[in-house]
Amino acid sequence: MSAAIQDADATRPPFKPQQQDPVGLESKMDPAPDYGYETYKGTGKLKGKVAIVTGGDSGIGRAIAMHYAREGAHVAIAYLDEHEDAEQIKKHIEESNVECILIPGDISKEETCQDIVDKTVKKWGKVDILVNNAAYQGPMQDDFRKLTRERLEFTFKTNIIAYFSMAQKCVEHMSRGSAIIDVCSINAYMPQPAILDYASTKGAIVTFTKGLSHQLIGKGIRVNCIAPGPVWTPLVPMSFDKETGAIVTFTKGLSHQLIGKGIRVNCIAPGPVWTPLIPMSFDENTVEHFGKETVGTPIMRPGQPKEYGPIAVFLADEAQSSYILGAVIAVTGGMLIS
């Protein structure tokens, strides 16, 4: 049996029941997310490049940061005060004989975005790669009328306005051959109704990527997007309280509320990559079968962060992806997007 198959079998559900409070720590996840520390060997594809990865302390962002380091890039990690996770990935990055700086802060704030870029440019004098990855997903809410203005504004400021801000500030320090990589979600195509605010921002990211790619190609800057499917991150054991039996879908929630008004609501509800986002999102019993019964991917397991890093390397490396522009790369375990 190949090592890849053995690794996949080791991460198939059932998992140990678990639940976390926000913001979610992967150090508390069992099994721990797999970032490819032991398996990924770089070949210098990004040697001397400078990358900014928002949300680079955990989950998909952490995997991307590690893979970039293995390929020879220096990495600035922007993160939201999860210092334990950030210090761990900084240590792993520096083991690849490249430099890493940690920049904590809330990217929903304009001044934080400016600070991230300023500190990166002060350290290395340029930006070659921007990975817009950080995102906020609030607790599940099956009644969209209960989504507060405060939550909506914070979600949109973090998940899409920050993407604008980071790109605006980075472009001034980018040269031809640079790349911007946005991370959206399968929710952009199959919105999970109980996280309607989050899903809406993911759809906006797809539009942002496609539009910005046309604006910046004249400067020689490529913009593309990665759409993750179900991933083992701390979001899953974080977003549901322990008493919530399962995801309340839009069909069972809002559709029942609005049928009395003659309004029909239908939706294909996907499951939520094994990172701290998972134990934040589901009750502990739902987490136990995450990626199988909950999500229903054809591959019958959630993705691991290490399965996203090489895609981000590919999109950042002009030698490999020079003719790819405004694309959304689906990494979904067989769940289809259209």
> Which tokens hold the place of 256?
């029942």
**CA nearest to 295, candidates 276, 256, 268:** 268
Residue 18 tokens read as 């678990």
Count how many Cα atoms sit within 13 Å of the Cα of residue 46 in the half-sphere of its side chain. Answer: 33
Q: Which of 68, 198, 308, 323 is catalytic?
A: 198
b (16+ CB within 10 A) / e for 279-314: bbbbbbbbbbbbbbebbebebebbbbbbbbbbbbbb
Least Cα distance to 133 among 112, 175, 163, 98 occurs for 163
Cβ atoms of residues 276 and 25 within 8 Å: yes
Contact 334, 306 (CB under 8 A): no
Residue 198 annotated as catalytic: yes
Q: What's the rounded Cα separation, in Å, for the pair 272 and 185?
A: 9
CA angle 306–307–308, rounded 5-degree value: 90
- Alpha-carbon Rg for the chain in angstroms: 19
Nearest of 185, 131, 138, 186 to residue 163 by alpha carbon: 131
What are the catalytic residues? 198
